[in-house]
Amino acid sequence: MEEIIRVENLTHTYGEGTPFCRSAVQDMSLAIYRGEFLGIIGHTGSGKSTFIQHLNGLLAPTSGTVFFDGEDIHRSKEATRDVRFQVGLVFQYPEHQLFEETVYRDIAFGPKNMGLNEQEVDEHVRFGAKFAGVDESLFEASPLDLSGGQKRRVAIAGVMAMKPEVLVLDEPMAGLDPAGCREILANIAEYHRSTGSTVVLVTHDMDVAAENAERLIVMRRGKIALDGAPEEIFTHAAELREMGLGIPG
């Protein structure tokens, strides 16, 4: 398979030069392939969220390199900016980042910054809203007036409106009811199937990981503990339980 992202010897250290110095990711190397559905699992504090924030340049490595389509994403400010349109990142609590006056303008923020014309922006906004289950009747509402679940959907819509080549999601179902979780997962799977885009899904839910991912990465203490197909990963039952993960029900 063709690589779309490569991470080489990535280390990210918080509080460098202070007594609180700690490396959340340590000398991590990994290839992510075009069109694959990759699951990343690991106990809280294993480095998952820190790691994925490097994939679109939101965090810069303390050391090591991240490549997108064979190019260092930090080779210039322009390159880092451009990769954020191609690698869409949905945060664990994305609703905390809503800031525009209306739902429509919030979803349109990414497409506008991509340099699309007004008609293209509108098409992208409606695509993102439909994907995330945001009713168009909410377009003129303030994001701050929405329920927690609606805010989550608007935040997801804003990322999807950019139609990213790589979709990275950090626990996207947190805070949604069971029906909302199923709907978002189904939409992610359909996006993956219909566009051939790469999906990277961080989840604590072993059943979600088993049912959706073609390949799993298990992280532990900032490093890759296991890497393989779900059926192979889940043969390491004792090791997974020791990491506090268990196996699917």
Q: Which residues touch 175 (CB under 8 Å, ≥6 apart)?
A: 93, 148, 149, 152
Per the CB < 8 A criterion, the answer to whether 57 and 5 are in contact is: no
Closest CA to 218 of 75, 100, 90, 41: 41
SS (H, E, C) 56-99: CCCCCCCEEEEEECCEECCCCHHHHHHHHHHEEEECCCHHHHCC
Query: Is the whole model's pTM more than 0.85, yes or no?
Result: yes
pLDDT for res 168: 95
For the chain, how far is it from start to end, CA to CA, in angstroms? 31
Checking if the pLDDT of 121 tops 90, the result is yes
Checking if the pLDDT of 195 tops 70, the result is yes
Distance (Å, whole) CA 161 – CA 159: 5
pLDDT for res 249: 66
pLDDT for res 95: 67
Condensed to tens digits (0 to 9), the pLDDT of residues 66-98 reads: 999 999 999 999 999 999 999 999 887 766 778
Average pLDDT over residues 121-146: 94
Condensed to tens digits (0 to 9), the pLDDT of residues 103-119 reads: 999 999 999 999 999 99
